[in-house]
Structure 1
């Protein structure tokens, strides 16, 4: 009789544990297996001790352990750790080395399998795809890190500090008298502009110098005035042939890059204002593209023989001075823009936009977007100010070209810039109808700007 309660207790305990849903668990295990095979395939191709089958088993084992419970998941993770120790001991005995990268990949695979067993899908998939990419791009990453200079590393760390450490610590909203100072908005502008410059530098580093045309476009993303000045100075030495043709296209591409950069900044910070300024920005880009490709039948766009390739390199991607300069210009334009708009109306803000565009069109465009987002400017006024800043940036580059002794070159560039500015002014006249269209057809965007 004493055995009857024992059997009943066992039966009751067995009934507490539910059956696993077959299709759901099969999906989890299949995902874990697929992810394990993905990273195992890369290890197999490199002829590592742990390859396709090993990583597949580890991922499935992690999924099964997580399905049984957290305790089993920890046990599976510990067993995987012991397996990596055995792998390294075996490799040290046979090859006098270690498999640290493969060991780390095995632990990551086990954790991804555990996540799959718990029902996660996108997270383990993203982890495994990223890990496989890191393994597959070993040669590329190694070559990039070896060629990385100390100054470039400091620039990357500085950008990370500005974006991750300082930005979250800044106060939200306006501070100071009349709410003139917006620390986060200014810092966001610094990060945005610096990020564009940093990506530009990485592309330059990865693909090298492919001619003055690429130099002009990539340089224009950072600072079109500096780029135009540098290209124009080369014409002073060799004022004809391939050099003049290359500089011609490089200057126009720098101008197009400046317009494109300003349009992107405006679209990111104030989408409705960007829509209102679409006509002007599109017209300026179309005119730039026309003059660039109209000279395709001219001399080859290449670096002249005997030129030093280092002359085409740009500055370091980021520096503390450039960050402070952009932030200071943005704050000054924001403060002056608020005051002039308040006491002198839109005409005062337009004057500030023109002056700011001559100094830093990116900061002037960001300031116009910020004022519109705060409701201190109407949509039409902000779009007009951003366009005027871009036109001022085009105009300020012309004196750099006028000093070139080649009159034909000067006339060609001057004609192109005049047409580009005229297209921008023509698009500016369409700003009011486009702004009205935004207000009527896209109310969700116009509601972002309560001042409109």
Structure 2
């Protein structure tokens, strides 16, 4: 009975995959015929449709099922399917419409076979194929707008992510045990990747909407990387000065919220102490983003309508990001030396040193220590606050000294105000 049930499920899945792909292909073929001023009904029997694709998928499943006892059957089925598809193309093939339907038919047969061996994978691949087929209008609109440098940058990003990063060793081999090649490589790629994402969003959505997404999404990963990337972009493109400031403010506002979420998941007592000072710091930073957004809107109103953004040499700028990798390595070594020298008694100094590059590690560590009763919640919250303040100071310095003239000063002023408000509130709460 279980075998019958499994067979019926596989049959339904195989038929469903064929139906999904067939529905898209039949609708697309009719639309293409209409675009060519031909009557769709006159060709309804000439082109592969819903029934054909469903039958092909079921045929593939049957070949795979019987192939458990007859190994020759799946290859024979593939030959038969290939011959049918080729014969169909030679009979009714239209050079203007291409080979997409015939290729999709062959893939549908293969997916039907895959259902018998890896049903979940077959469903996933079937959905991806259907989405690719549905995306035809988007590809037609987007590809003519692409520049060669953008294609090259995308290829570089994929190579670094898929080939280079996995080859880097994860363990640290330096005397201090802190310089993990993969961690540093990930940080470098993160900075370059955020620059790339900001460029793409800027091209697709314009400066105002693009930087909002770049800042919000980047802040979920690393506000430091966003600050570094935006400072670099402000140097290469003058029109990215104000949008880069907005992205920096938004990313740092997200950072404050991220710290609160992490602390609350580990030890809610620590989060309750932090919520007011960090919440106020986030509010000040968001106010800075609103201030710069109003400035950007006024600048857009007074700017010529035909202005063009400065051309970027490469959206995936890896060489500038390597400089930040060197800086990160130096800070990690300094942090390790400080921690070894002061030991556990220097929790605040260690938090300040660690906050030079990252606040998540400090938040996780001291929140866990507080949960285990090793340190008081007030001590843990103060250590996290010190790390956040140190990290904010570092990012203010990045914006001030690494960005274009006029980029860093507003960011540094807003960050200074946020630190003053946050630290003042934290001290006031401690004195109560």
TM-score by length of 1: 0.67
CA offset digits 1:258-284 (Å, max 9, x no partner): 44368769999xx86999687465443
Contact kept, 8 Å, 1:201 with 1:316, in 2: the verdict is no
TM-score by length of 2: 0.69
Contact kept, 8 Å, 2:168 with 2:182, in 1: the verdict is yes
1:389 maps to 391
Equivalent residues in 2 for 1:253-332, closer than 5 Å: 254-260=248-254, 279=275, 282-290=279-287, 301=298, 303=300, 304-306=302-304, 309-311=307-309, 316-332=314-330
Structure (1 or 2) with the larger CA radius of gyration: 1
Gaps of 5+ in 1: 1-18, 235-245, 357-363, 405-409, 433-452
Q: In structure 1, how many angstroms separate the alpha carbons of the residues matched to 2:85 and 2:347? A: 68
Contact kept, 8 Å, 1:36 with 1:56, in 2: the verdict is yes
CA offset digits 1:314-369 (Å, max 9, x no partner): 77432221332232222111112111222254566566567x5xxxxxxx127956
Q: Would the alpha carbon gap of residues 265 and 106 (structure 1) be closer, same or farther in structure 2, given more than 3 Å must change?
A: farther
Match of 1:365 among 336, 343, 358: 358
Q: In structure 2, how many angstroms separate the alpha carbons of the residues matched to 1:315 and 1:424? A: 40
1:131 maps to 129
Contact kept, 8 Å, 2:231 with 2:244, in 1: the verdict is no
Contact kept, 8 Å, 1:62 with 1:111, in 2: the verdict is yes
Contact kept, 8 Å, 1:274 with 1:383, in 2: the verdict is no
- Superposition deviation, residue 419 in structure 1: 3.8
Contact kept, 8 Å, 2:201 with 2:211, in 1: the verdict is no
CA offset digits 1:373-414 (Å, max 9, x no partner): 9x9xx987577434421244246657999x87xxxxx9x988
1:442 maps to none
Match of 2:144 among 125, 143, 146: 146
Contact kept, 8 Å, 2:231 with 2:398, in 1: the verdict is no
- Superposition deviation, residue 37 in structure 1: 0.9
Q: In structure 1, how many angstroms separate the alpha carbons of the residues matched to 2:192 and 2:259? A: 12
1:26 maps to 8
Equivalent residues in 2 for 1:195-214, closer than 5 Å: 195-210=193-208, 214=212
SS of residue paired to 1:177: coil
Equivalent residues in 2 for 1:147-162, closer than 5 Å: 147-162=145-160
Q: In structure 1, how many angstroms separate the alpha carbons of the residues matched to 2:19 and 2:319? A: 48
Deviates more, 1:306-315 or 1:126-135: 306-315
Gaps of 5+ in 2: 31-46, 369-374
